Chain A
Amino acid sequence: MANLTLVQAVRDALMCEMTHDSRVVLMGEDVGVNGGVFRATEGLQKEFGEERVMDTPLNESGIIGMAMGMAVNGLRPVPEIQFMDFIYPAFDEIVSEVAKIRYRSGGGFTCPMVIRTPYGGGIRGGHYHSQSSEAYFIHTPGLKVVVPSNPYDTKGLLISSIRDEDPVMFLEPKRIYRSIKGEVPEESYTVELGKASVVRPGKDITILCWGAMVPVCMKAAELCEPRGADCEVIDLRTLVPLDEETILESVKKTGRVVIVHEAPKTCGFGAELSALINEEAILYLEAPIVRVTGLDTPFPYTLEHIYMPDPERVALAVGKVKNF
Chain B
Amino acid sequence: MQSGTDLMKKKIKNQATKSEKAPMSCSVLREDCFRLMNEDGTVDPKADPKLDKELLLKMYRNMALTRAFDERGMMLQRQGRIGFYVPSFGQEAIQTGTAAALVEKDWVFPSYREPGIFLYRGAGIYEMLCNLWGNQGDLSKGRQMPVHYSFPKIKMFSVSSPIATQLIQAVGAAMASKISKTKEVAISYCGDGGTSESDFHTGLTFAGAYKAPSVFIVTNNQYAISVPLSKQTGAKKLADKAIGYGMPGIAVDGNDILAVYQATKEAVDRARRGEGPSLIECVTFRMGPHSSSDDPTRYRDEKLYQAWAKRDPIKRLRTYLESKKIWDEKKEKALQEELKKKLAEAVERAEAEPPPDPMDLFEDVYAELTPQLKKQKEELLQEVQLRGQFENTSEAFPL
Q: Are A69 and B172 also in contact (CB < 8 A) when A61-B199, A92-B162 are?
A: yes
Partner of B365, one of A64, A67, A102, A109: A102
Interfacial residues of chain B within 238-293, with CB under 8 A of chain A in the complex: none
**Measured between alpha carbons, how far is A245 from B157 in the docked complex, in Å?**
39
**Measured between alpha carbons, how far is A170 from B206 in the docked complex, in Å?**
24
Partner of B168, one of A62, A142, A194: A62
Contact residues in A for B382 (Cβ distance below 8 Å): none
Chain B's nearest CB lies how many Å from the CB of A60? 9
Residue A25 at the chain B interface, CB threshold 8 Å = yes
Contact residues in B for A68 (Cβ distance below 8 Å): 168-169, 172
A77, A105, A107, A165 pick with most chain B CB within 10 angstroms: A105
Interface pair B370/A240, CB less than 8 Å apart: yes
* Binary interface encoding of chain A residues 78-92 relative to chain B, with 1 for a CB under 8 A from any of its CBs, else 0: 000000000001001
Residue A128 at the chain B interface, CB threshold 8 Å = no
Residue B26 at the chain A interface, CB threshold 8 Å = no
* Binary interface encoding of chain B residues 164-190 relative to chain A, with 1 for a CB under 8 A from any of its CBs, else 0: 010111111111111110001010000
B144 nearest in chain A by CB position: A104
Interface pair A105/B140, CB less than 8 Å apart: yes
Residue A57 at the chain B interface, CB threshold 8 Å = yes
**Measured between alpha carbons, how far is A97 from B168 in the docked complex, in Å?**
11
Q: Are A69 and B138 also in contact (CB < 8 A) when A59-B206, A165-B367, A241-B372 are?
A: no
Partner of B367, one of A51, A77, A89, A166: A166
Chain A's nearest CB lies how many Å from the CB of B145? 10
Partner of A62, one of B151, B178, B203, B372: B203
**Measured between alpha carbons, how far is A141 from B165 in the docked complex, in Å?**
19
Contact residues in A for B209 (Cβ distance below 8 Å): 56-57
Residue A201 at the chain B interface, CB threshold 8 Å = no
**Measured between alpha carbons, how far is A306 from B370 in the docked complex, in Å?**
37
Contact residues in B for A77 (Cβ distance below 8 Å): 172
B198, B199, B203, B206 pick with most chain A CB within 10 angstroms: B206
Interface pair B370/A65, CB less than 8 Å apart: no
Chain A interface, >50% SS class: mixed
Partner of A65, one of B176, B203, B367: B203
Contact residues in B for A166 (Cβ distance below 8 Å): 366-367
B204 nearest in chain A by CB position: A62
Interface pair A104/B150, CB less than 8 Å apart: yes
Residue B311 at the chain A interface, CB threshold 8 Å = no
Residue A52 at the chain B interface, CB threshold 8 Å = yes
Q: Are A69 and B150 also in contact (CB < 8 A) when A92-B162, A104-B143, A107-B363 are?
A: no
Residue A226 at the chain B interface, CB threshold 8 Å = no
Interfacial residues of chain B within 27-58, with CB under 8 A of chain A in the complex: none
Interface pair B365/A61, CB less than 8 Å apart: no
B141, B162, B168 pick with most chain A CB within 10 angstroms: B168
B140 nearest in chain A by CB position: A106
Interface pair A52/B150, CB less than 8 Å apart: no
Q: Are A66 and B367 also in contact (CB < 8 A) when A56-B206, A109-B157 are?
A: no
Q: Are A69 and B366 also in contact (CB < 8 A) when A61-B202, A97-B160 are?
A: no
Q: Are A106 and B141 also in contact (CB < 8 A) when A65-B165, A72-B157, A73-B176 are?
A: yes
Partner of A104, one of B158, B177, B202: B158
Q: Are A242 and B372 also in contact (CB < 8 A) when A51-B179, A69-B174, A109-B150 are?
A: yes
Give the interface size class of chain A: 35 or more
Interface pair A61/B198, CB less than 8 Å apart: yes
Contact residues in A for B138 (Cβ distance below 8 Å): 106
Interface pair A52/B179, CB less than 8 Å apart: yes
Residue B107 at the chain A interface, CB threshold 8 Å = yes
Contact residues in A for B139 (Cβ distance below 8 Å): 105-106, 108
Q: Are A194 and B370 also in contact (CB < 8 A) when A73-B107, A102-B365 are?
A: yes
Contact residues in A for B165 (Cβ distance below 8 Å): 65, 92-93, 96-97
Q: Are A104 and B148 also in contact (CB < 8 A) when A61-B198, A62-B206, A166-B366 are?
A: yes
A64, A65, A69 pick with most chain B CB within 10 angstroms: A69
**Measured between alpha carbons, how far is A17 from B201 in the docked complex, in Å?**
32
Contact residues in A for B363 (Cβ distance below 8 Å): 107
Residue B371 at the chain A interface, CB threshold 8 Å = yes
Chain B's nearest CB lies how many Å from the CB of A137? 14
Interface pair A97/B150, CB less than 8 Å apart: no
Interface pair B180/A74, CB less than 8 Å apart: yes
Residue B364 at the chain A interface, CB threshold 8 Å = yes
Residue B205 at the chain A interface, CB threshold 8 Å = yes
Residue A15 at the chain B interface, CB threshold 8 Å = no
Contact residues in B for A141 (Cβ distance below 8 Å): 365
* Binary interface encoding of chain B residues 354-379 relative to chain A, with 1 for a CB under 8 A from any of its CBs, else 0: 00000000011111001110000000
Interface pair A65/B172, CB less than 8 Å apart: yes
**Measured between alpha carbons, how far is A174 from B20 in the docked complex, in Å?**
66
**Measured between alpha carbons, how far is A155 from B28 in the docked complex, in Å?**
60
**Measured between alpha carbons, how far is A198 from B141 in the docked complex, in Å?**
40
Contact residues in A for B140 (Cβ distance below 8 Å): 104-106, 108
Chain A's nearest CB lies how many Å from the CB of B4? 27
**Measured between alpha carbons, how far is A106 from B198 in the docked complex, in Å?**
28
Residue B122 at the chain A interface, CB threshold 8 Å = no
Residue A101 at the chain B interface, CB threshold 8 Å = yes
Q: Are A69 and B186 also in contact (CB < 8 A) when A52-B179, A109-B157 are?
A: yes
Q: Are A65 and B199 also in contact (CB < 8 A) when A75-B179, A75-B180, A97-B169 are?
A: yes
**Measured between alpha carbons, how far is A108 from B153 in the docked complex, in Å?**
9
**Measured between alpha carbons, how far is A75 from B180 in the docked complex, in Å?**
9
List the 6 shortest-distance A-B pairs measured between CB atoms, nearest first. A69-B172, A65-B168, A241-B370, A73-B176, A69-B169, A165-B367
Given contacts A73-B184, A97-B169, A110-B367, 11 further A-B pairs with CB under 8 A are A52-B179, A59-B206, A61-B168, A69-B174, A70-B179, A77-B172, A96-B162, A105-B139, A108-B139, A240-B370, A241-B370
Q: Can you list 26 A-B pairs with a CB-CB distance of less than 8 A?
A: A51-B178, A59-B205, A62-B203, A65-B165, A65-B167, A65-B168, A67-B172, A69-B176, A70-B176, A89-B198, A92-B165, A93-B168, A97-B160, A97-B162, A97-B165, A102-B365, A104-B143, A104-B148, A105-B139, A107-B141, A107-B363, A107-B364, A109-B157, A194-B371, A241-B370, A242-B372
B interface vs A, CB < 8 Å? 107, 109, 138-141, 143-144, 148, 150-152, 157-158, 160, 162, 165, 167-180, 184, 186, 198-199, 202-203, 205-206, 209-210, 363-367, 370-372
